[in-house]
């Protein structure tokens, strides 16, 4: 049984100055690919379930898949609910074996974000489940629906995490880890994002808990490395592995006339390309051998 929560995993990452890539996985094949790579290089796994993949009985099916993989894994696996704004969904995730949840009330006023997060923390901690919240607001851009605009402009900075609020938020909510807004965005960047790394440094120095980056895909490597050096412990990745997956699939399908082939054959190149990206992130984030 290697199913664990995120708390200790992130504590070790913070002490060891590396980050754990956290992958949104939509189905068995994506999750299996992450686990295969992690077992090969002895790294911990963070599977994330995301709302778009959790409709109706998809929720139950994906939970069973992830829990089964975790229980049989050779490395530690945490199952994390990404970006939930719904307490009922959080309760369901916990009942189905998730060991970590994110409550995202980042678009609400500060006091409301505190109150909502605290309610989730009080509930989740009874089940030994880790809670991640978000303070400030990471730029939007839903994968597959829109492209995220270039961040780092003055308007965008209004949504960055404030140091005094971070201190107060952590004290009042007792949250376990915190997603901060320092200039990254979700989805696919149209330009090069401009991160406020001085702010990252200040936030980390004042934070009692490990910090989390959303919008890790497409962020320049030097900024990822500097963020990790400054204390970033969990970096969420989705768009980059999807790009690997569909690049492999497109190349394969464009080179075959047989569209009645066994699905596992059609997925083969896609999964290999995705695995390359998964491994690259583990290596870049200094997470190889850290299980």
Which residues bind to Zn ion, rule: CB under 5 A? Answer: 214
Whole-number minimum distance, CB 134 to Zn ion, in Å? 8
Whole-number minimum distance, CB 87 to Zn ion, in Å? 19
Whole-number minimum distance, CB 195 to Zn ion, in Å? 15
SS3 content of the chain, % helix, strand, coil (to 5): 50, 15, 35
Sequence-distant (≥ 6) Cβ neighbours of residue 230 within 8 angstroms = 197, 200, 201, 204
Catalytic residue, from 36, 53, 76, 82: name it: 82
Give the other-Cβ count within 10 Å of 191's Cβ.
10
* Closest residue to Zn ion in the complex (CB): 214
Q: What does DSSP say about strands 232-237 and 20-24: parallel, antiparallel, or unpaired? A: parallel
Q: By C-beta, is 214 or 290 nearer to Zn ion?
A: 214
Whole-number minimum distance, CB 235 to Zn ion, in Å? 10
82 is catalytic: yes
Tokens of 256: 């075959």
Distance of CA 40 to the CA centre of its chain: 21
Q: Which long-range contacts (CB under 8 A, 24 or more apart) does 103-110 make?
A: 103/131, 103/132, 103/133, 104/133, 104/134, 104/179, 105/133, 105/134, 106/133, 106/134, 106/135, 106/136, 106/137, 106/138, 106/179, 106/181, 107/137, 110/165, 110/169
Q: By C-beta, is 80 or 214 nearer to Zn ion?
A: 214
Whole-number minimum distance, CB 83 to Zn ion, in Å? 5
What is d(CA 173, CA 118) in angstroms, rounded to the nearest whole number?
4
Q: By C-beta, is 196 or 291 nearer to Zn ion?
A: 196
What is d(CA 87, CA 123) in angstroms, rounded to the nearest whole number?
10
Report the catalytic residues: 82
């Amino acid at each position: 049984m290697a199913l664990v929560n995120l708390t200790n995993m992130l504590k070790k990452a913070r002490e060891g100055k590396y980050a754990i890539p956290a992958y949104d996985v939509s189905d068995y094949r994506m999750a299996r690919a992450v686990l295969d790579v992690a077992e090969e290089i002895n790294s911990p796994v963070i599977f994330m379930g995301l709302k778009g993949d959790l409709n109706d009985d998809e929720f139950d099916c994906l939970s069973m898949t992830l829990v089964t993989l975790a229980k049989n894994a050779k490395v530690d696996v945490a199952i994390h609910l990404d970006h939930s704004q719904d307490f009922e969904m959080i309760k369901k995730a916990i009942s189905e074996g998730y060991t970590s949840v994110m409550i995202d009330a980042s678009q609400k006023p500060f006091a409301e974000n505190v109150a909502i997060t605290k309610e989730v923390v009080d509930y989740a901690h009874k089940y030994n489940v880790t809670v991640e919240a978000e303070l400030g607001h990471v730029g939007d851009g839903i994968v597959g629906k829109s492209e995220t605009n270039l961040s780092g402009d003055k308007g965008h900075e209004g949504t960055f995490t404030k140091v005094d609020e971070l201190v107060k938020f952590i004290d009042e909510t007792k949250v376990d880890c915190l997603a901060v807004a320092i200039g990254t965005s979700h989805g696919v960047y149209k330009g090069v994002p401009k991160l406020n790394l001085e702010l990252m440094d200040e936030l980390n120095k004042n934070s009692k808990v490990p910090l989390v980056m959303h919008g890790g895909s497409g962020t320049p490597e030097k900024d990822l490395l500097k963020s990790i050096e400054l204390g970033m412990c969990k970096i969420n990745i989705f768009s980059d592995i999807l790009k690997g997956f569909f690049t492999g699939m497109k190349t394969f399908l464009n080179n075959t006339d047989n569209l009645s082939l066994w699905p596992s054959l059609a997925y083969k190149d896609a999964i290999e390309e995705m695995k390359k990206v998964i491994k690259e992130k583990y290596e870049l984030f200094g997470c190889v051998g850290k299980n």
